[in-house]
Structure 1
């Protein structure tokens, strides 16, 4: 009865659903304790770009945007929780960050870290969102409230609305070159709409500034990346974190500037690909310089496809070929990973780790590393047993993110393997058996812990200089697209990837990574989005490509430049394959139709509208984003801070 007497008065506040709305000077704070624009990361390289643009022969500019891309794993989240022995909360769930999730759970559900145990369920795909501890927190709280075992499976719409997405971005940028096509300067201002929460926002901001201009020689750069809160779905880790937003601008501008200078876009990339000694956008040397070799491998495909596209054109169907360069950084500074190897009574070896298996190949990666590091024992693959992803029995190998696991777990395996081999080795060079080890009182289990080198420092918050990763990979994409003139629908017909990740340990596993990344790029370019709860609640509604949308004619070519700093001369690969392929598709649409799509996804109606405008002699509609501040005023602020800190 008392409830009936209560009157609730609501004050309806404005909903800010884009960066521009949230960053406006008169916008109300989404969170009272923080301004809406809460992180800024500048990038300085070379001289004053404004002067260089004035004297450069050619320049182009554009405003580009990317969507809240949904991760779209095949299955929604399912998890179980119950009280185990000694009052430990047992949680079986999907997680890319088992030990990291325990730390987050302890704070959120009120249990000590030592009273939480996570076991990873066998899953098919995550692509980043299960870096967050949302689902294990939810199921754990249910088990604590009921004091009974709980199993929870979300419906797909529930999964869609409950989990984070790739953060939307809005970028104004321009690029210039001299009369010979050599890039002279780049400017960019990126606004990142990270939604309601700040999960991994600092890392995302620094990631974006690494890849505008990668892997070219861009001598002069001025840029600013800003992060804001909005009322939209929150941003979370997503494969190739931060780089797709960056490449959307820079790889589009590369094609636009090539056209302005009258140079083939493929050859324009060859002219500007970084050479030995050239510096990255962050003013560091590239770890490797395979760029021209990769272009040489791709050139025959490009020339052949271009010639065939011209011959195939009809009044109803237009064909085009697009290229994009990309890649990603591997791992981070101040990182560590631990594994354990144990000799068993039957002579087999067990490998213990928490290299989280999301379908990306943590199991085959563990097997390959162990096999190679223990080759002196002449073990067969079936003699290597994998014990993975249970925090109650396995050491902390770190998160399956940032393409770090192959590199970090690989070195940790080498360290553990060397310890085990040294313990087993007899004075005559042969190896002790398990029974001999036991008889001589020699331990049979050894831990290997690898820590990333101390010289890979963080990205400087005032200049953007720095590396903050343990390795680099590179990818070159080529896409052929068919565009239906009547409807504007684009379809990818063929796709080629030239990849350089060092020495390839398992071609089948890496090819799976590459082709999976390609399918994500096709969806990102043409169909995928999350902004409408009803329309985008299902896989089909959110735009996941069907089997008929993904080209059967797709291949990966490996250019193997040994990574002397990587385990078995290799490095991580996964995220490179989703970094820039979407722009190859957009560049192919331009090649086919003469219209450039600046905002994702390149839906049929968007392409058709642009073609209609072109046929009327009008410019393709492009909105310049009002990002709420003057970029150069903010850059002057950071330049003054950098100078002041130097004087200290």
Structure 2
């Protein structure tokens, strides 16, 4: 018998496994799941291992080729609790966000520094080619490399520690699973394997639009290993959708796009499932396609849905003032058509769901989801059982950006597991994920914008049309958000905003980071740059004249309350422009500088009630356990929530035990994570829970200790003298049994935007809020353009954010840095392309997200502000960072070349 040497330990290699890839062999045979599968074709780098000192992609290495070689996986770096210096540096520099690609990054750095202790930036870029991070952690990786290299060379390194021991809010703490991320111990959904598990493979529609005539289930069932073919013939058909139920849970009647799942084939092995799926015969009758908004709008066009009005999926309109008169009297007018493209989320971890029958007659579900309680409810309804029989394990998300919410995979897999009486799992391949996932809406804004000679914007007309694809998905939310933010962070009293989303036979558009606002903010910020130049004004002055401030009227008619500091972000950016960016251009005329701003709601707004529940439990050791089922996808919200909890109770951060095993059995009911609302929604609930906890401790202490006992500053004190009577550990011993509070927070009501922007005062002005609050950002982009070679490289980015109080500054900066980098990718290069309804961009090589070599100098700053609507004055940042970067890139390109572009991605159109 042969062996492979893994982490200095020989592992037996059976002859039948010679042709197996190293990736599968490590994961399936030996449980070494720190090596991840992001693409399975060697393009993403998440499966990196070190073979004889060199980084290799384990997903394309056959085991038989590795005999006699030394292989190191992420599990082989640490020695017990002693981390490798590279792992220590990742921890110290706060590299990790979602953590899915972190093991591969760590191994890449280890191999690089072992071969080259003093690498140049070019050598680092080369080493990291194809090692992808969608969260955009490259800025932090560069810092970690510098630190680790110095330590490995024997040099002294002193880390900066900016934490103030006398406070909790404003300090930076590591995420509770940080060490598990850098050691590969953290288990993502596809890292779970169960005995007697069946494996599923998705079968998609072969055409964009066709009647579904028949599926030959019987022939497929006769193939080796096949246990179940799930389709309209074998599983109940219900209508589903995250907002409006317009999509069959699995294809029925007809298919409307090539991403529609017509069947799932389950077999004893993944290979058997894939083979059988490829052999499944599906009979179609072709229908005429509708493949663009232009086609969908034609009178008499085929209807994607028989009951829709001319293929219109969603409408939203806001009008106020006298637009025509304002245009007639304007000193300057610009107009044009601005287009932003279809975007793929491209999270490195693809979708996955596993269902395991439990002893309650229900299911334990392991799934990638932004809302585990929503998955529990929908699965229980579909299976016809009580919710209490279902326990959803919300596994850590390897990135999401809105794409892992609202799909029916957990429900379908649970039905298969119930039918077969054995665990069932579907891990979606990269190629299938590109078909399965929703996309960011491609969007066209036809804008006419006017100003008086002083630069005051006097009128805006914006006709917006968007391709929503085959089903509604999140379009009923995306469109009103886009329309609401179409003015940018500016007060415009005469405007006409008309938005429509159309059904087509393209892949469904859904929720993608910032949904709606990136598309419309891109358009207005480029148009405003044009207007400023026409008026011969600088980009800061025109924004300052029109910028929203307390008492301003937003596009929707909502009056801006206290706690909004847009102008401070603009001031910070202007200062940075003159100090650092303008000198770059003065030294090199090929460099262009672009300015843009953005704003974004925190919480969903536009009508639906928003609430969640949390729990606080006093543990035997005197710590307080925080129970908040707030999905984690690299956003680190649980850390900020623990800080809010500690500060509210007068405790140290270390006194809070974060329940990070997010299961519906273990935590109170929680809402979906979306709309940058994690910190403010769950934080508000935890503030309320802390008050209830303190009151109950005081009540119990008065009974057990004495009438003057009161809970204050984390301990029981005498109310009169302030003397400490006991700590929480002794209090828990006296109480005995459990001591827990559960609290619900319901946010103030919001309204769908009224067409007249509430000019009729149908709703009292002080009550009319379309959104709970907003965060703001202004940014600078410096790029170097070479028109002759058609090349553009971003060399420096700076952004100033108003996020209220940064609860955890380093975590907040990471989110900002990643957002800027994602915005850069979307502005320059990214586009998910379809042709005749079929996917062109079908690999990670074709869909080019930013890599290490693309990473410019990035700086994130926060302006001083306190928003009274959030806990400790805090707001959110998750979706904010990318908003100004796309328009700033086009504005910078004009500054460098004099060529005005109104479409992205830029590199497609130069």
TM-score, length of structure 1 as denominator length: 0.87
Equivalent in 372, 391, 395 of residue 668 of structure 2? 395
In terms of mean alpha carbon deviation, does 273-282 or 515-524 score higher?
273-282
Q: 1:53 to 1:592 in 2, by over 3 A?
A: same
CA distance in structure 1 between the aligned counterparts of 2:408 and 2:901, rounded to whole angstroms: 35
| 1:570 Cα offset (Å) | 0.8
Question: Residue 753 of structure 2 corresponds to which residue in structure 1?
Answer: 459
| 1:380 Cα offset (Å) | 4.6
Cα pair 2:903 2:909 within 8 Å, conserved: no
| 1:266 Cα offset (Å) | 2.5
The answer to whether structure 1 residue 92 and structure 2 residue 366 are counterparts is yes
SS of 2:641's partner is helix
Question: Residue 549 of structure 1 corresponds to which residue in structure 2?
Answer: 854
Equivalent in 557, 578, 581 of residue 885 of structure 2? 581
SS of 2:318's partner is strand
Q: 1:385 to 1:270 in 2, by over 3 A?
A: closer
4+ residue runs of structure 1 moved beyond 6 angstroms?
A: 7-10
CA distance in structure 2 between the aligned counterparts of 1:464 and 1:13, rounded to whole angstroms: 44
Cα pair 2:401 2:512 within 8 Å, conserved: yes
- The structure number with the bigger radius of gyration is 2
CA distance in structure 1 between the aligned counterparts of 2:818 and 2:460, rounded to whole angstroms: 32
The answer to whether structure 1 residue 567 and structure 2 residue 867 are counterparts is no
CA distance in structure 1 between the aligned counterparts of 2:283 and 2:842, rounded to whole angstroms: 31
In terms of mean alpha carbon deviation, does 59-68 or 15-24 score higher?
15-24
| Number of residue equivalences | 593
CA distance in structure 2 between the aligned counterparts of 1:474 and 1:593, rounded to whole angstroms: 29
TM-score, length of structure 2 as denominator length: 0.63
Cα pair 1:244 1:578 within 8 Å, conserved: yes
Q: Deviations over 1:505-554 (max 9, x none)?
A: 11110001101111110111111122245542222311211111121x11
The answer to whether structure 1 residue 325 and structure 2 residue 600 are counterparts is no
CA distance in structure 1 between the aligned counterparts of 2:425 and 2:687, rounded to whole angstroms: 39
The answer to whether structure 1 residue 308 and structure 2 residue 584 are counterparts is yes
CA distance in structure 1 between the aligned counterparts of 2:282 and 2:594, rounded to whole angstroms: 57
| 1:271 Cα offset (Å) | 2.1
**Aligned residue runs from structure 1 range 7-86, under 5 A:** 12-35=286-309, 36-45=311-320, 47-86=321-360
Equivalent in 100, 103, 114 of residue 377 of structure 2? 103
Q: Deviations over 1:208-256 (max 9, x none)?
A: 1111113112121111111111111101111111101111211111001
Cα pair 2:619 2:732 within 8 Å, conserved: no
CA distance in structure 2 between the aligned counterparts of 1:38 and 1:170, rounded to whole angstroms: 16
Cα pair 1:371 1:384 within 8 Å, conserved: no
Equivalent in 827, 833, 836 of residue 531 of structure 1? 833
| 1:57 Cα offset (Å) | 0.8
Q: 1:42 to 1:385 in 2, by over 3 A?
A: closer
In terms of mean alpha carbon deviation, does 567-576 or 432-441 score higher?
432-441
**Aligned residue runs from structure 1 range 236-635, under 5 A:** 236-287=510-561, 288-303=563-578, 304-313=580-589, 318-331=590-603, 332=605, 334-375=609-650, 378-381=651-654, 383-425=656-698, 426=701, 427-429=708-710, 430-431=715-716, 433=728, 436-437=731-732, 439-440=734-735, 444-454=739-749, 456-460=750-754, 463=757, 466-532=768-834, 535-551=840-856, 553-603=857-907, 605-607=908-910
CA distance in structure 1 between the aligned counterparts of 2:670 and 2:882, rounded to whole angstroms: 24
In terms of mean alpha carbon deviation, does 408-417 or 462-471 score higher?
462-471
Q: Deviations over 1:290-338 (max 9, x none)?
A: 232222211122224134214313xxxx210111110211113521111
CA distance in structure 1 between the aligned counterparts of 2:575 and 2:734, rounded to whole angstroms: 63
CA distance in structure 2 between the aligned counterparts of 1:14 and 1:490, rounded to whole angstroms: 41
Q: Deviations over 1:114-173 (max 9, x none)?
A: 443211112221000111133323422332343211232221111111111111111111
Cα pair 1:514 1:556 within 8 Å, conserved: yes
Q: 1:108 to 1:591 in 2, by over 3 A?
A: farther
Larger helix percent: 1
In terms of mean alpha carbon deviation, does 112-121 or 33-42 score higher?
112-121
Cα pair 1:522 1:582 within 8 Å, conserved: yes
SS of 1:283's partner is coil
* Structure 2 segments unaligned to the other structure (5+ residues): 1-215, 217-280, 702-707, 717-725, 760-767
Q: 1:307 to 1:228 in 2, by over 3 A?
A: same
Q: Deviations over 1:72-119 (max 9, x none)?
A: 111212321111121122210111111223334345555554443211
SS of 1:496's partner is strand
Cα pair 1:193 1:230 within 8 Å, conserved: yes
CA distance in structure 1 between the aligned counterparts of 2:696 and 2:595, rounded to whole angstroms: 52
The answer to whether structure 1 residue 125 and structure 2 residue 399 are counterparts is yes
Q: Deviations over 1:545-586 (max 9, x none)?
A: 1111121x1111111210112101111221111223211111
SS of 1:579's partner is coil
Q: 1:183 to 1:380 in 2, by over 3 A?
A: closer
Cα pair 2:557 2:757 within 8 Å, conserved: no
Equivalent in 482, 485, 504 of residue 211 of structure 1? 485
Q: 1:110 to 1:157 in 2, by over 3 A?
A: farther
Cα pair 2:318 2:753 within 8 Å, conserved: no
SS of 1:85's partner is coil
RMSD value over aligned CA atoms?
Answer: 2.3
In terms of mean alpha carbon deviation, does 15-24 or 183-192 score higher?
15-24
Cα pair 1:105 1:133 within 8 Å, conserved: no
CA distance in structure 1 between the aligned counterparts of 2:360 and 2:826, rounded to whole angstroms: 47
Cα pair 1:499 1:557 within 8 Å, conserved: yes
* Structure 1 segments unaligned to the other structure (5+ residues): 608-648
Cα pair 1:477 1:581 within 8 Å, conserved: yes
Q: 1:328 to 1:380 in 2, by over 3 A?
A: closer
Q: 1:411 to 1:64 in 2, by over 3 A?
A: same
CA distance in structure 2 between the aligned counterparts of 1:393 and 1:198, rounded to whole angstroms: 33
CA distance in structure 2 between the aligned counterparts of 1:9 and 1:94, rounded to whole angstroms: 32
| 1:34 Cα offset (Å) | 1.5
SS of 1:119's partner is strand
CA distance in structure 2 between the aligned counterparts of 1:66 and 1:261, rounded to whole angstroms: 26
SS of 1:76's partner is coil
Q: 1:358 to 1:259 in 2, by over 3 A?
A: same
Cα pair 1:356 1:388 within 8 Å, conserved: no
